[in-house]
Amino acid sequence: METALRGFVHKYGKNVDTDVIIPGKYCNIIDPVELGKHALEGLDPDYTAKMKAGDIIVADTNFGCGSSREVAPIAIKGSGTAAVIAKSFARIFYRNALNIGLPIFESPEAVDGIEAGDEIELDPATGVIKNLTKGTHFKAAEFPPFMRALIEAGGLVPYVERRLAEMA
């Protein structure tokens, strides 16, 4: 997570659940790009048609609630979406997003201060969110130290590889 991300916002409400992020019938797909073609299909069937790579999803509370399907964050990432900002995330989605390297940010103020269509810039390292359209800025909640270490290690896989080496 180094360079700043910049993109246009698609905004959604509360409780965007995994069934609308990637409907069950597509859960037998593994390929991220194929999955990405159906991202958010249950909520906004036009999402993948209207979004451009690098765009950012902004949503209210409890984003990603429901199933443990890792294909949910994979589909969002596979669609080319650069990040998700929400007031809060459901527990399993949060873990999954960190594990697969989909940048996520928790900031109720940013969500309230950003509208659909705004252009924003995100600095994953500092959590600073700039609304370029409105000239405002916000700061996302910091990750706890353990999770920051995970993110800095590049996700869960390198972490596991290190643990395996330690255990050997």
Partner 1 sequence: MGMTLTEKILARHAGLDRVEPGQIINAKVDLVLANELSAAVAIGVMRGMKGASKVFDRDKIALVEDHFVPAKDAQSAKLAKLMKDFAAEQEITHFFDVGRGGIEHVVLPEEGLVAPGELIVGGDSHTCTYGALGAFATGMGSTDIAAAFVLGEVWLKVPATIKIVYDGELQPMVYAKDLMLRTVGELGIDGATYRAIEYHGSTVDRLSITGRFTMANMAIEAGAKNGIFHADEKAIAFVKERTNRPFIVDRADADARYERVIKIDVSALEPQVACPHTPDNVHPISQVTREDVNVDQVFIGSCTNGYIEDLRIVAKILEGKRISPKVRVIVNPGSQKVWMQAASEGVLTTLAAAGCAVNTPGCGACFGGHMGTLGDGERAISTTNRNYVGRMGSPKAEVYLASPATCAASALTGKITDPRVLELAGV
Q: Which residues bind partner 1 (CB under 8 A)?
A: 15, 17, 19-20, 23-25, 27-30, 41-43, 45, 61-62, 65-71, 73-74, 88, 90-92, 95-96, 99-100, 144, 146, 155-157, 159-161, 163-165, 167-168
Question: Which one, 125 or 147, has the nearer CB to partner 1?
Answer: 147
In residues, how long is the chain?
168
Question: Which one, 86 or 114, has the nearer CB to partner 1?
Answer: 86
Nearest distance from residue 73's CB to partner 1, in Å? 8
Nearest distance from residue 124's CB to partner 1, in Å? 19
Question: Which one, 61 or 133, has the nearer CB to partner 1?
Answer: 61
The DSSP secondary structure of 92-134, one letter per residue, reads HHHHHHHHHT--EEE-HHHHHT--TT-EEEEETTTTEEEETTT
Structure tokens at 4: 């700043």
| Distances, alpha carbon 144 to alpha carbons 67, 147, 150, 161, in Å | 24, 5, 10, 21
* Amino acid in position 65: C
